[in-house]
Each structure stands twice: as structure tokens, then as C-alpha cells.
Amino acid sequence: MGGNKTDSAAIGAGFVARGAALAKEEFSKLSWLHVFGFAICQSWTVLCFALPDPVTYADPFLDLRWVSASATCVLLALFCFAHRRVPLCVGRNAVVFAIAAVASVSSALGPVSVLFPESSALLLAIAAAGLGVGFAFLPIVWLSVFWAARENAGLIASLVLAAVLTYPLANTVIAGTQGTWVIVAACSFLPMLSALMLPRKEAVEEACACGAVPAEKRGFRELEPSERDVLVRFCLCLFFVVAIIELCRNVLLGGAQATFFAGAANLVGILLRCFFGVLLVIVFARRSMDAVSRIYRWSFLLVLAVVLAIPFIMEGNWAAHVVLDMGAFCFEAVMMMVLLEMVSALAIEAVLLFALTRAVWSAAVVAGIAMSGCGYGADSSFVLFGVAVMGVACAFMFVFVFTDAHCTRVLAKSCERAHATPFKDQCRLAALGAGLSGREAEVMAMVAKGRSSQRVADDLGVSLSTVNSHIYHIYQKMGVHSRQEMLDRIESYAAEATAPDGLGKR
């Protein structure tokens, strides 16, 4: 008996050690500037959306979140139809800065409207629509950055960090200890600060070119029927569950005046997010289909617990808020990770897919806000009936619409595409084909990843002239004259070597 316990403890300790090492390795690869940038964007979203008009709570209070969500939905729907004619460049550029500026001005316009009582309703409506611009485009730009860099762990880290940043900000907002206009200035600057942390668009393009997964340009029409079916199922599940979570949030806000967003319950939620975030990073890094399936099922159970906790949420129960917070986070994190993998699995344009799912999310928010109006003032029997109906519908979504089998299938197909010809193997094939020496092959791979000659010299511990000499000989042997031509040549070598008639050719 004692031996079995010892063996179990040793196995458990080994599993924890391997998981910790894997998580450390994944987090060591991250660009923490990107993590902070997206976390700031999400914190701004919570402060300006989840907490309606958090700065002033002016009377008469106008809850115009539905205007922001509707504007987000309409703008992204139009973008999905016209994205070929009006493409959105991902990265730090003039268009993104303009979007951030609209979001920043709109964030300040809401509180400023109290200075103009006669026009305050109009100004608030304009501010709400302007916030919709930021809610629409800033998140999809950041998601595209994480996908291009293949930083799935960074996406999870940003979700956790957003909660850490939002906690003190929400406490300050609700307490009002720092003065109204100081808070206005801080909240209004967040979108611009987030945009400043974006990488240059050239860097994003280079990351797409050098990543293990090519930057595909397929649209919705080019998808196979089976692929469209998976996408539709994903969107239906996303819409329904987000609508339920938003309904619960509105019930909570109506009953507790948003204090739970900054209270002790949210602190407990932050600790739980940290634990679940690390677990999710380990599971997706290991590419374990069984583990992903279990995580997805546990996420479903938490969302179902959110639905069943609605009567307690209406009473302002802090434990029910923790369940709501964790259910929302788990579902959001799992679906975001699956969404990143879906870009690769469907070989679809990343920005287009992110725009579609963000439009579905905003439509679900509008639906949740609309449904929440039916819950106020209703008798207990009506509420319990609604809980039962939503519980059954939620179970139907997870069991029959977008199931754990669909989730793992997306991951499996993504693995198949991502590992068909990894970039390091492409470089190896190109080096063999061009007859490069070992050091020349090393320099070629580093230059192809976008590193400057000086950075290569520093990493290899050689002089800049030596690196330039290697690059000159690499270009000569490959018959190219620029880095872009070298990238094209690397791809052509890989294509020739992996073609059916090219196997064993080199």
C-alpha cells in the first residue's frame, strides 16, 4: 500500500515537473511587449464596456452598450464582405493608429458629455458608436499578430494579465479616489498605448513568411463544404454561449452595481485564471488530443454551472460571481486557442476569420443585453424556467453542435498542416540543394527569420564582415540577389524535395 502511494506521488511529481518545464519553455519564447499590448486592449474593453459608463454614473444613466456592440457587429460584417477591396494591414501603421484614436476620443467623450447637459444623450450615443470602432478592429489586429508569431501561449498570458491589470483599475474607477478626470485620461489613453505596442507591419509580414504555417489567403467561398460546416458550428456555439454569459453579466450588474468587478470575488478569479492559463498552455503545447478534449468538456461544465447559478447571481452572491468569471474565462480561452488553430486547419485568411468570429461575439452580446431585460422584475418561477431552458440549450450546443470531437479535429488538422514541412526542414533542404556549408546554412536560416546582419554577428560571435561574406556566398550559391528571393528559393527547394517525383531527388 505504501509503495503504491510512493509510486503515485513520484508519478505526480514527475508530471508536474514536466509540465512546469514545458510551460517555462513556452513562456520563454514570448514577446512580452505583445502580451502587455493585448492585455491593455482587453482591460480597456472591460473598463469601457463591461462596466457601463464607469467614470461618471451620471443621472439620467444611459446604458448604451448595445450601441457599441451593434456598431462592432455592423462594421465587422461590412469588413467581411469588402475585405479584399479594403484590406486591413496588421501591425503598427496609420490605419490602426486612426482606429485607436477614435477609440480614445470616444472613451473620453462619454464622461465629458456631462459638461453639456442639453446634448449629453447625443454625445453619449456618438461615444458609444466610436467605442464600437475600437472594439471591432483592435482585438482582431492583436489576434492576427499572435497568430503570425505562433504565440498561442502569449494569447493565454494576455488574458490572465488583462485580469491582473483590470483589478486595480476597476477598484480605482468604482472608489473614485483619484478624481474623475484623472481616471478619464487614464482610460482614454489605453487604446493608443496598446496600438503603440504593436509590431511594425513589416515585422508581421516577415513572421508570416518565416513561420511554420504559411499565410494563406483563402476566403469563405474557397472553403470545402465540410470546412464551412465546422466554421458554422463554431460560430453557433460561440454565439449562444457568449449570449448566455452576457445575460448573466447583465443580471449581475443590475443586482450588484458592478462592484463584483473590483471586489474580493474578482481577486479569487484572478488566481484561478493563472492556474487554468498555465494548464491550458501546457495542454496545447503538448498537442495532446485527449487532454484538449478533457479541457473542452470541463469548459462546458463550467459554462453550464454559470447557467445554473443564475438565481444566485441575481441575489448578488459572490461565489456565483466566481463561477461566472471562471466559466467565461475558460470558455473564452479555449475558444480563442481553437480559433488560432482553425486559421491553420482551414487555411483561411487570419484577419477575415477573426473579423467573422468577433462579429458573432458582438451580435451575441447584443442578444444577451436584450434577453437580460426579460429577467428584471420577473417572478422566481419564470427565472427557474428560463434557467432550465438555457441549460438544455447549452448542453445541446456542446453535445451536438460544436463538440469536443470537432475541437480536437481542428487541432489535429492544424498539426498536420503545421508540421508538413517545418521551416527548419525547409532551410535544411535548401542548404542541401544549394550545397551550403554548415555555417552558411546557419546564417541563411537566421537571415531568413528576419535577423539583421549585426544581430547574426552578435549571436554567432563573429564580425559583421564575416557575416556579410557568408551572405554573399549564400546568394551566389542559391542564385538570388535579395532576402525575399532567398525566401522564395527556400520554398521552391522544399517543394521540389517533397513532391512525389522529387522524393530522393537530392
pLDDT tens profile 379-414:
556 666 777 777 788 888 888 888 877 877 777 676
Q: Alpha-carbon distance 85 to 78, whole Å?
A: 11
As a whole number of angstroms, the distance between CA 262 and CA 163 comes to 10
Residue 272 CA to residue 298 CA, distance in Å, equals 14
Report pLDDT for 214: 46
Residue 56, pLDDT above cutoff 50: no
Confidence category of residue 362, pLDDT binned at 50, 70, 90: very high
Q: How far is CA 449 from CA 55, 90, 225, 347, in A?
A: 45, 18, 35, 22
Least confident range of 18-22, 33-37, 170-174, 259-263: 259-263
Q: Residues 273-288: pLDDT tens digits?
A: 888 888 877 777 766 6
Cβ atoms of 295 and 331 within 8 Å: the answer is no
Q: Is the pLDDT of residue 321 over 80?
A: no
pLDDT exceeds cutoff 90 at 73: yes
d(C-alpha 446, C-alpha 452), whole Å: 9
d(CA 224, CA 503): 29
Q: How confident is the model at residue 183 (pLDDT cuts 50, 70, 90)?
A: low
pLDDT at 213 over 80: no
pLDDT of residue 203: 73
> What pTM does this model have?
0.74
Q: What is the mean pLDDT of residues 196-223?
A: 70
Task: Answer whether residue 54 shows pLDDT above 50.
Answer: no
User: Which tens digit of pLDDT belongs to each residue from 94-134?
Assistant: 899 999 999 998 888 877 777 777 777 788 888 888 889 99
**Mean pLDDT value across residues 77-90:** 85
**Mean pLDDT, the chain, whole residue set:** 76
pLDDT value of position 361:
93
Phi, psi of 208 (to 5 degrees): -65, -40
Range of weakest confidence among 89-93, 178-182, 382-386, 497-501: 497-501
Q: Distance (Å, rounded) from C-alpha 300 to C-alpha 302?
A: 5
Helix (H) or strand (E) segment spanning residue 456: helix 453-460
Of the candidates 89, 184, 182, the one whose C-alpha atom is nearest the C-alpha of residue 140 is 89
Q: What is the rounded distance in angstroms from the CA atom of residue 390 to the CA atom of residue 384?
A: 10
Residue 272 pLDDT: 80
Contact partners, residue 437, CB within 8 Å, separation at least 6: none
The pLDDT score that the predictor gives to residue 212 is 46
